[in-house]
Structure 1
Amino acid sequence: MATPPPSRAAPIIERAPLALVEVYGSEHVVSHVNFAFCKLLGKAREEVIGVPFSTIVPGGDDCVPLLDGVYETGRAITHAHEDPDANQTAWLYAMWPALDPLEHPQGVIIGLTRIQNFRQNVTEMNEALLIAGLHEQESKETAERLNAHLAAEIAERKHAEQELREANEQLAVADRSKDQFLAMLAHELRNPLAPIKNAAQILRMANSPDATILRAQAIIERQVDHLAKLVDELLDLSRVHRGKITLDRVRFDLARAVSRAVDSCDHLMRQQHHVVTVDVPTPGSLCIDADPTRIDQILVNLISNAAKYTRAGGAIEVQAAREGALAVVRVRDNGLGIAPENLQRVFELFAQVEQSLERSQGGLGLGLKLVKELVEMHGGTVEATSEGLGKGSEFVVRLPAIEARAVVEPAARSTAKHRGKPRHILVVDDNIDNRETMEIMLTMLGHRVDVAEDGEQAVDKALQARYDIAFVDIGLPKLDGYQVAETIRRRREGAGIVLIALSGYGQPEDKRKAIDAGFDQHLTKPVKSANITQILADLESFKRS
């Protein structure tokens, strides 16, 4: 079997500190390994590429059915193998499905580590203690031997405790490596999405009379948004598990939030000609104390999920009401339904319940798990019910309600289509596709645009010309984006320019770092043209004194 080219994850695997290997196909042939893997096994890269994984690692035969299960179910699996040929040594395996399943449908990424002195053989010690106990009264020498055995057992236990502490430390390191891997993965995926998103927006702005071009543009933009949403969900779940998400609670109207979520999913339901019924109480009568952004995320996930699993022409009902002390939202459809034995599994991580032979719905099985985590963070519950396959399903969210007093509503952004006055703009990006599509899009909006391809060019141009605003990528050569902002802010000539950071990294700590460096705002790639238009229209609000 020919070894396929390395997948999109290859550069990420190469830089990872954990031993990682990527395999492909029914024989699980190795397609890529990193230095840490070769060092761990004491093999050269050429010795393992193109070779079945089961033949190069301890306990490889036991891994084969597990690897089959990973690419058949799309679920991650962990496995421990005690090496019979190496005393008290164990190998730990973690197996994930491929990052690009369309290109590598039988691909699996495997991380492994070796733990030595994994077990202690207490059986022989216990037998020795018993024999010593039987002869304890016979002689002082036997008693001394018993004491020696007891001391040895204590020493062994202390040694085992030390090994346990070291194993926990190794797990903590592996957990940090996983977080770094996910952040790097998000960055590597968002960067190529940015020029694709820009190009789709340029096609839309061109107002082509060709309906085929407009349909293709809409498809491209929807799929880019979908992939960006999957990346965001993956990172959000990681942050929830690490306790890194905090809720910005305010009192607001849940009924309005439900209406906003239905509007956000309108294109999905119109595309499938769904009949949508929305039943919410009078505005201001159903209030909760919650994070509006996270509640929107919960509702959009549930409604879009109903749209995905309801065939064309089907019915979707969204209801919100107060039931005692609870605010309750119900999302009901007459779609594919869920088998009774799978009702609890839908909220598991990476769960993709087989509701039909069709796999067109897609997804990584992250959305409903994220919904459950966020609802529970708000002190609520979520449950799924279904009468069976082909009979639709219902998801019910229950949250603590509050008295309907003065509430805070998320500020509505202006939807006016004015472009504002022309601006003088600097675009800084080392990726030529990002740079050119941003330049074209901003020029089409009526602005005068200059470009720079590295940090030093950016500083020189920003300090020589009087730009209104600069959009600056963070990962630049020569000077990175943070250094660019710090350098410009140190000079009097750069005090008035508005600096907007663009990055594939979008965690709160990334945004704080950008603001601390001197940026006025941080945007995560891919960026919507509406966000850029809004910033340019509101430019005066950014101006520094």
Structure 2
Amino acid sequence: MPTSEPISPAQARFLFEHAPLPMAAVEGSNHIVRYINPAFCRLMDLAAVDIIGKPFCDLLPEPDDCVAVLDRVYHSGRPSSYSTPEGTEPPPIFTSYSMWPLITEVCTAGIMIQVIEAESLHGKTLAMNEALLLGSLRQHELTAAADSLNGLLQAEIRDRQQRELDALMLTQEISHRVKNNLQIVGLLIDAEISRIPAEYKHGYVATQARIGAISKLYDLISQSSRGSSIPVDSYLRQIADSMTASLLGNASGIEFVVQAEALSIDPDRAVPFGLMVNELGTNAVKHAFPAGIGRVTIVAKRIDDQMELTVVDNGVGMPPKVAAVAPGRRGSDYVAIFVRQLGGTMAVSAVEGTGTLVRIRLPLLELASPVGRLPRSTH
């Protein structure tokens, strides 16, 4: 006799369709058949429409004892079983029944009946079917637990995404305020420049350009939706615009041209990168164009796992001996420091009268994309 707790009608309907043994569910005190599984139809050799709606007892050749058990299960709400006595003639269609009450919130609504055909298989089949029933119920429990865990996981993912969004918004807000403060510093330096003699202005102008390069970085961070990388092409164009405004003015015959692939650089390295570009551009403006006319081209592209940055001008160039010590002679000591800080290498190529080319190779910082962190694009 089964010892498991009564199961619900919804669980019973699922079990009917998958149980290997004939099963039926009856309703009410008259035990009217409401559901049957395919195995029961095969046993009776009848279609479902010929069985459903009839009293279960009408299907039995000698129903008296079975009806008594059905009544007892219905009124007591406790499972039971019934077996046809041995030696019954003629042999019955089925010899054993196992019965479980279908419990609603307040009472017994019906009974689920499992039929066993052969007495010799009675014990073994009962144990097997009970194991299948319990296994099916356990599967329901596991499915419900999996659904619950999935709901918790989804909630955690949403919470983590919200925290990422909050952190990004905070970073953008802080960057915006830093940019505004740097612009104020730049305006204060500009006011000082207007009050001092021309021969002393160079240092102020150079400092103002450096502050402008950093300000452009924070401007990009405040506008970025990625939060963890800076687009190199936009960054270089903003630095070029800043140098044009601070170093050249509207009447200058010198222009900056930017040609950059869609690369990114992480914020930790963006400041020395921007200052390095600013120094190279400033050096070109100071030394390459004594006539005040020319072009400085800034190129950034990817080569394997490195970024190649070239700054080339079409100015007067340098004699080879001077080019060999160019960083010191052209005011590029800062550039050499920034290149080392970025883990890169630098080469200067210049011939007198044909311009100067500075080529710098930097490692691309390729980072993985763990959960909770946005990816850093490098292409």
* TM-score over 0.5 for the pair: no
**Structure ID, larger Rg:** 2
- TM-score when scaled to structure 1? 0.27
Task: Say which structure is richer in helix.
Answer: 2
- TM-score when scaled to structure 2? 0.37
